[in-house]
Amino acid sequence: MAKITVDGVVYEVDPANNLLQECLSQGLDLPYFCWHPSLGSVGACRQCAVIQYRDAEDTQGTLVMSCMTPVTDGGIYSLAAEQASDFRADVIESLMTSHPHDCPVCEEGGECHLQDMTQMSGHNYRRFDKQKVTHRNQNLGPFINHEMNRCITCYRCVRFYDDYAGGTDLSAQASHHHTYFGRFEEGTLESEFSGNLVEVCPTGVFTDKPFSAQYTRKWDLQTAPSICNGCSVGCNITPGERYGTLRRVVNRYHNEINGYFLCDRGRFGAHYVNSESRLRSARDASGMSVSTTAIEERISEFTSEAVIGIGSPRASNEANFALRSFVGAENYFSGHSDAEHEALQVLIECLRDAAFHSPSVRQIEQADAILVLGEDVTNTAPRIALALRQSVRNEAKALAETSRIPNWQDAAVRELAQESLSPLAVFACGSTRLDDIATTKLNADQQTLIEASNALSERLAGRSPAYSQQTLGTTMQSVEATYTALMSAKKPLVICGTGAGAALMRCAANIARALSVSRSEVCDLVLLPKEDNSVGHALLTSKENTLSRALGRLANGEVKRAIVIENDLFERAPTALVKNALAAAELLVIDQIETPTQRYAALSIPSATFNECEVTKVNYEGRAQLSFQVGEGCDAAKPIERWLNVEGSAHSNSMIARCAAEASDFESLIDCLPDPLGRIAGLKVPRQSHRYSGRTAMHADRNVHEGKQPVDDNSVMSFSMEGMLTQKDSSVLASAWAPRWNSNQAISKFQAEINGELKQGHPGVHLIKRSLNGQAYEAENSVNKNLGDFEIRLVSHIFGSDTLSSHSPAIQKRLCDAYLALNKEDALELGLANGDFVSLGGAEDSIILPLIVRTQTPSGVALVYTGSSALGASINPHDLPESASLARVESEPSVHPTGLGLSNLVVNDAYSGAH
């Protein structure tokens, strides 16, 4: 630690950091623009100027940019000195010369960093009377508004979009007073992380387009801490609600998981809760609505004989647990497909295994050699892909260290490193969105991937692997390069996921185990499930209770009744199997959205969405997190546990407590609940800000009498502005606000230090204790296919491959049709070109898909994207054969085209040329 004096006060600070960061860590108000806690310093905006004194004798001092000034022990500085504060006021005055006075109609108004900094710097009167520079805006697609006139050229947008997130289609153009941040031509921003521009931009150049369409000021939004349900990462989010509808989602800082950034599926996908796909009222088989009393009677009757309960990876722990206790553990079945269920068993075994450690997203960023096996992380767990883009920069940071350049010197570190990257090996079938930063890429079919993985495990175990003749060259090179990288790294990491299948997950575990043994240390292993509560659901389900067993028991009449929660079985098992089973059963479905499964239901009942109830979910690490209710939405919807009316379901806290007490592995779930004693004077935490306006008039269109605020008995939070507003020491922080800091940058006031933990924050709890001393899995056998057949591999897309987010209107504008992809040579051999229709198998009822040529597809492999069920334009992935012969046909594709075509497809290897 170093001691510095700022305006006469002595502070203990970290000498590894710059002065601006340390001033903010100490809670001082020092204005800045171009610096960002995750992006480091470039010294571009000159806003954070302070005076630095040579020694105690020095009364004059020199003006320095605090973001570019390393902290030195014994340093003496002043923020308040007149020269410094005058300089800062002058800087902001010049930044503001072309800034429009449109705050009242600007979406950023009220949470604008530029507003805050202008206030703080004391510039309040415009002296510049010349013409302002104006720009033409671009249509940047369904997510982001563009209003360039508001730009103050801090360059944060391109530093995030290009440098941090690896985007290629946003750039700084022109120079000086007409600098422009935009695309080459109008069009959708392609990065999966474009939504972060909304929060990274210190003013209103980039704003949230879906939010604009139903705009509410920050202080008028009712908010609560919540967890994203877009994938298994469990990013922390703050949804905002007004008038009973979800308005937007913004990032909620969590130092171990999402930090400051979300992906676009998470940010824009949550709007499904307002969509027309919501199941808004209960109905029977004939579509007639059913009263709540009738539903409750029907449900209580259901216990009279054996009932099969099919759970769901997108339902909470409490909902799944309630169903399990309602039907009995022996009748509670997996809602995962059999393949996913099998893969999840591997995942859970590895979570119990003491040889492995499941790193948080922050820890992933620290890895310095990585193997990604078979998973296109950007499309299945996007936030982790963003983290991997930071981990490959560890090489740059190491280089900087040897040159004594501090890591926060962003531009200098990048300039020094040029193209140097830490090793990232991607072994995958086809191109992935991380290929541009991969130092080793093995692009091959399943058989070769398994071979390569086995060879790598052998190599790591000190044996010499056997390669088959045809793959010897490239495979051996990739394996050798990866071997060297993993063995010489300080923090190696292996990543795989259920998308790659159980076989490759076992391979990944073997590789990690071999690493762990040969290095005599615990090895970082990330296994990614597909959905937000896949792990929680799998932990509650017994290994034998697969979905196909449940469907079998229903189909043969062994059990006549079934309850399906938050699940569309047509995405989980072959169509014929599901139809047979459901047709034979009396089916009760509880779901948030309408699904094809409900066509077979005697009764369909609406359940509450993530923002309408307080629940816990378990992420890929086995970390359980609590998500609070944000507001009241659909009147008829209730949480599943309350519909089932199991013991303890009346209060979410008691339900969580019961789940913790009764379900094995869930003991520490109870620690997710905030300590009631931690509340100030026993007061609840308000969901509404102290500036929340218009409450008395909100429902005046229906009734002039102000209704009673809803009461939340379940929670430490209240639907009110009364109570103890979230303060620095609160454990329940939805929306960061501090005096003079109205923007999201206020978060620094709640961090123990910049980029550190939240003060008394709530990081969630790791449920699973590692105790097992597992064994290596049997070396995987290779897949069989007929000569001449194509191996069918599924691909995921960030928009479309997730059920709930695909119902969001903004996401729907980014979807594309189902397709089959081949490489150029295979397509040529079959006489196929872009847009042709291809039949799989050639039988009369075989699946027909439009073809797209993707140049990186391995030969002999057909990649299939099954389309989005939200548009009613998908094929059931479980109806696809493992391999098939392909032929050109004239007949229409199996999936009715949505009109979106493939124009929204963002891949690295689309081929536009003719043969």
- What does the alpha-carbon distance between residue 437 and residue 548 come to, in Å, rounded to a whole number? 40
By beta-carbon proximity to another protein, the closer residue of 187 and 710 is 187
- What does the alpha-carbon distance between residue 368 and residue 692 come to, in Å, rounded to a whole number? 46
Of positions 134, 168, 212, 693, contacts another protein by CB under 8 A: 168
At residue 845, what is the residue type? D
By beta-carbon proximity to another protein, the closer residue of 170 and 479 is 170
Of positions 185, 701, 845, 890, contacts another protein by CB under 8 A: 185
Provide the minimum distance between the beta carbon of 793 and another protein in the complex, in angstroms, as a whole number: 20
Site string for another protein, 407-436 (x = CB under 8 A): ------------x-----------------
Size of the site for another protein (CB under 8 A): 31
Give yes or no for a contact between 617 and 592, defined as CB atoms under 8 angstroms apart: no
Give yes or no for a contact between 321 and 664, defined as CB atoms under 8 angstroms apart: no
Site string for another protein, 249-288 (x = CB under 8 A): ----------------------------------------
By beta-carbon proximity to another protein, the closer residue of 175 and 664 is 175
- Residue ranges in 570-609 that form contacts with another protein under rule CB under 8 A: none
Give yes or no for a contact between 808 and 265, defined as CB atoms under 8 angstroms apart: no
By beta-carbon proximity to another protein, the closer residue of 786 and 903 is 903
Provide the minimum distance between the beta carbon of 93 and another protein in the complex, in angstroms, as a whole number: 25
Provide the minimum distance between the beta carbon of 850 and another protein in the complex, in angstroms, as a whole number: 15
Of positions 59, 60, 124, 175, contacts another protein by CB under 8 A: 175
By beta-carbon proximity to another protein, the closer residue of 396 and 847 is 396
Provide the minimum distance between the beta carbon of 459 and another protein in the complex, in angstroms, as a whole number: 33
Provide the minimum distance between the beta carbon of 587 and another protein in the complex, in angstroms, as a whole number: 42
Q: Cβ neighbours of residue 101 under 8 Å, at least 6 residues apart?
A: none
Residue 700 binds to another protein (criterion: CB under 8 A):
no
By beta-carbon proximity to another protein, the closer residue of 183 and 209 is 183
By beta-carbon proximity to another protein, the closer residue of 138 and 534 is 138
Report the run of H or E that residue 292 belongs to, with start and end: helix 292-301
- What does the alpha-carbon distance between residue 270 and residue 230 come to, in Å, rounded to a whole number? 8
* Of 80-88, 164-172, 635-643, 804-812: span binding another protein (CB under 8 A): 164-172
Residue 170 binds to another protein (criterion: CB under 8 A):
yes
Structure tokens at 698: 């909100």
Nearest alpha-carbon partner for 877 in 864, 887, 889, 886 = 864
- What does the alpha-carbon distance between residue 799 and residue 805 come to, in Å, rounded to a whole number? 8
Site string for another protein, 878-907 (x = CB under 8 A): ------------------------xxxxxx
- What does the alpha-carbon distance between residue 408 and residue 20 come to, in Å, rounded to a whole number? 11
By beta-carbon proximity to another protein, the closer residue of 170 and 343 is 170
Provide the minimum distance between the beta carbon of 902 and another protein in the complex, in angstroms, as a whole number: 8
By beta-carbon proximity to another protein, the closer residue of 343 and 392 is 392
Nearest alpha-carbon partner for 449 in 434, 433, 427 = 427
Nearest alpha-carbon partner for 408 in 106, 96, 21 = 21
Site string for another protein, 818-837 (x = CB under 8 A): ------x-------------
- What does the alpha-carbon distance between residue 601 and residue 599 come to, in Å, rounded to a whole number? 6
Of positions 171, 275, 407, 782, contacts another protein by CB under 8 A: 171
Provide the minimum distance between the beta carbon of 359 and another protein in the complex, in angstroms, as a whole number: 29
Structure tokens at 774: 């597992």
By beta-carbon proximity to another protein, the closer residue of 180 and 219 is 180
Residue 214 binds to another protein (criterion: CB under 8 A):
no
**Alpha carbon 861 to its chain's center:** 29
Alpha-helical runs (H) found in 759-869: 809-812, 824-829
Of positions 74, 187, 676, 842, contacts another protein by CB under 8 A: 187
By beta-carbon proximity to another protein, the closer residue of 254 and 797 is 797
Residue 190 binds to another protein (criterion: CB under 8 A):
yes
Q: Read off φ and ψ for residue 388, nearest 5 degrees.
A: -65, -30
By beta-carbon proximity to another protein, the closer residue of 162 and 667 is 162
Structure tokens at 815: 């979807």
Residue 180 binds to another protein (criterion: CB under 8 A):
yes
Provide the minimum distance between the beta carbon of 854 and another protein in the complex, in angstroms, as a whole number: 10
Provide the minimum distance between the beta carbon of 140 and another protein in the complex, in angstroms, as a whole number: 12
Nearest alpha-carbon partner for 396 in 161, 71, 70, 164 = 164
By beta-carbon proximity to another protein, the closer residue of 2 and 411 is 411
Place of tokens 């594309």: 816
Q: How far is CA 902 from CA 162, 170, 813, 834, 863, in A?
A: 25, 22, 12, 10, 15
- What does the alpha-carbon distance between residue 305 and residue 734 come to, in Å, rounded to a whole number? 45
- Residue ranges in 133-162 that form contacts with another protein under rule CB under 8 A: 162
Given CA atoms 351, 591, 610, 206 in this order, what sign does their dihedral have?
Answer: positive
Give yes or no for a contact between 231 and 381, defined as CB atoms under 8 angstroms apart: yes
By beta-carbon proximity to another protein, the closer residue of 178 and 728 is 178
- What does the alpha-carbon distance between residue 332 and residue 321 come to, in Å, rounded to a whole number? 9
At residue 375, what is the residue type? E
Provide the minimum distance between the beta carbon of 162 and another protein in the complex, in angstroms, as a whole number: 8
By beta-carbon proximity to another protein, the closer residue of 393 and 433 is 433
- Residue ranges in 847-866 that form contacts with another protein under rule CB under 8 A: 855
Provide the minimum distance between the beta carbon of 183 and another protein in the complex, in angstroms, as a whole number: 6
Of positions 208, 365, 568, 909, contacts another protein by CB under 8 A: 909
Structure tokens at 709: 């605020």
* Of 97-105, 167-175, 367-375, 498-506: span binding another protein (CB under 8 A): 167-175
- What does the alpha-carbon distance between residue 856 and residue 834 come to, in Å, rounded to a whole number? 15
Q: How far is CA 719 from CA 256, 682, 778, in A?
A: 29, 16, 55
Provide the minimum distance between the beta carbon of 911 and another protein in the complex, in angstroms, as a whole number: 6
* Of 184-192, 248-256, 399-407, 752-760: span binding another protein (CB under 8 A): 184-192
- What does the alpha-carbon distance between residue 544 and residue 532 come to, in Å, rounded to a whole number? 22
By beta-carbon proximity to another protein, the closer residue of 82 and 419 is 419
Give yes or no for a contact between 483 and 454, defined as CB atoms under 8 angstroms apart: no
Burial (CB count <10 Å: 0-12, 13-18, 19+), residue 109: middle
- What does the alpha-carbon distance between residue 345 and residue 348 come to, in Å, rounded to a whole number? 5
Nearest alpha-carbon partner for 344 in 233, 505, 235, 548 = 505
Report the run of H or E that residue 269 belongs to, with start and end: helix 264-269
Residue 46 falls in which region: left (phi positive, over 0), alpha (psi -120 to 50) or beta:
left
Give yes or no for a contact between 657 and 703, defined as CB atoms under 8 angstroms apart: no
Of positions 111, 116, 169, 199, contacts another protein by CB under 8 A: 169
Provide the minimum distance between the beta carbon of 231 and another protein in the complex, in angstroms, as a whole number: 21
Provide the minimum distance between the beta carbon of 828 and another protein in the complex, in angstroms, as a whole number: 12
Of positions 411, 522, 772, 910, contacts another protein by CB under 8 A: 910
By beta-carbon proximity to another protein, the closer residue of 170 and 559 is 170
Provide the minimum distance between the beta carbon of 433 and another protein in the complex, in angstroms, as a whole number: 8
Contact footprint for another protein (CB under 8 A)? 162, 168-175, 180, 183-185, 187-188, 190, 419, 824, 855, 902-913
